[in-house]
Amino acid sequence: MSIFNAYNTTGHDSLQGNHQHTSRDYRKREIICHGISSEHVFSKSYKQLKNRKFRPFTNVNAIKSSLTLSVILNAIMLLGYIYNNKNMEVPIEFRLIYSFITDVVLFYLLYSFNFRIIQVNWNKGLKFWTLIIGSVSIAIVLSLIFSQGAIRFLPGSPIPPHFQITANIIKDLIVVLIVLLSTLLYSSIFQRQEALLENEKLMVENIRIRYEVLKNQVDPHFLFNSLNTLDGLIGVDDDKAHDFVENISSVFRYAINNKEIMHLDEELDFTESYANLMKIRYGDNFQIQYHIEDKYRMYYIMPISLQLLVENAIKHNVISNRHSLIITIETTPNDTIRVTNPIQLKNDDEPGTGIGLANLTERYKLLFQKDVLITQTDVFCVEIPLIKQLEPTKTNLL
């Protein structure tokens, strides 16, 4: 049994086994720990992340913002009326009620328009000018309508009608500015939280993978086989027994580290430790050839990515005296590392789930916006991007 059965899930599984399976097709394995399945634990984590999501562009938020700002605006107007002590035919209460209603309508329509446009998938320039021109147009049209209503239904103002109209237009343009700035603030907060949630999603997925790996490492079959192998070496070849213990401890130590990104040099050491364990079983019939340019050794790579490709090559292909399995791991001028192996499928090869490589691909897109390339001819080939330098916002992954 392979040490990393949690990673018997790569696209390697599907493509080398000639099985076209997607994540929806596979039967999920339940992993039980203290009576709680890992699927339940991690689905709960995703729900918690989803529930924490800030949703600013909703009708409810538009109404709340409209009411709040209208109250503030009319409170300022009330203070102005009290300070000036104007004598009007219509009581001040009616004017304030009329002003409050019209302000709420204006704020709500502006927020609804802004929220709708800000979510449209347009380029920034088009979106910016649409927001400004649309908001100003709405404000001017409503200002003229509401001003005519105030002149008609609330007479007796000492201010001439044409000055009322001009003052209301100026006030409503200030309202437009307030709405635009607050919408941009909402958008900025939303984008920042989206980025934070994306990182948290990546962290949850990373923890899930490490949980699966660690669970399979302590699997009774693996422990039994490892102890059996070690018992067979002790007294027969003590040097090999010592190397075996060192390799298995290296594998455990690397898999339980909490880093989400590693130097290529560390990943290669880990892969070699795993390969040495496999060589105890297959001898010279299993080999890995490395062609690594020195400058790439300090580049970054997702942990346990090379090893999962090596493991699945072992799982799906024949390894015998007649059919040696030689895996090549090499860097390329395109800042990638390429893993290739000949396709010599087992007759009883089991279909894979196709999840591991899909997961690796998703993590690279989420974190670095880069693609993992997969090709298949007479050999199976996967190219994984190498990251030369981490952005300042991603240094916490180390």
- The CATH number covering residue 271 comes to 3.30.565
pLDDT > 70? residue 262: yes
Query: Which pLDDT score is estimated for 54?
Result: 58
**Distance between CA 147 and CA 150 in Å, rounded?**
5
Task: Using alpha carbons, select from 243, 210, 216 the residue that is nearest to residue 1.
Answer: 216
Q: Kindly state whether residues 163 and 220 are assigned to the same domain.
A: no
The gap between the terminal CA atoms of the chain, to the nearest Å, is: 31
Measure Cα distances from 339 to 179, 226, 263, 311 in Å. 54, 27, 17, 12
| Amino acid of residue 311 | E
pLDDT the model gives residue 144: 92
Question: 393 or 10: which carries more pLDDT confidence?
Answer: 393
Read off the pTM: 0.52
244 shares a domain with 351: yes
Domain that holds residue 269: 5-27+212-397
How would residue 374 be classed by pLDDT, with cut points 50, 70 and 90? very high
Q: For residue 78, is it within any domain?
A: yes
Q: Distance between CA atoms of 340 and 347, rounded to whole angstroms?
A: 21
Residue 381: φ, ψ to 5°: -135, 130
Residue with tokens 């130590």: 253
Q: Please, are residues 307 and 268 in contact by the beta-carbon 8 Å criterion? A: no
274-324 pLDDT, tens per residue? 898 888 878 899 999 999 999 999 999 988 889 889 988 988 899 999 999
| 335 within a domain of the structure (yes/no) | yes
| Domain assignment of residue 207, yes or no | no
Residue 51 domain-assigned (yes or no): no
Q: Provide φ and ψ at 86, rounded to 5°.
A: -75, 140
235 in any annotated domain:
yes
Which residue matches tokens 């949630």?
Answer: 197
Domain identity same for 230 and 372: yes
Regarding predicted confidence, which is higher, 386 or 33?
A: 386
Question: Total structural domains in the chain?
Answer: 2
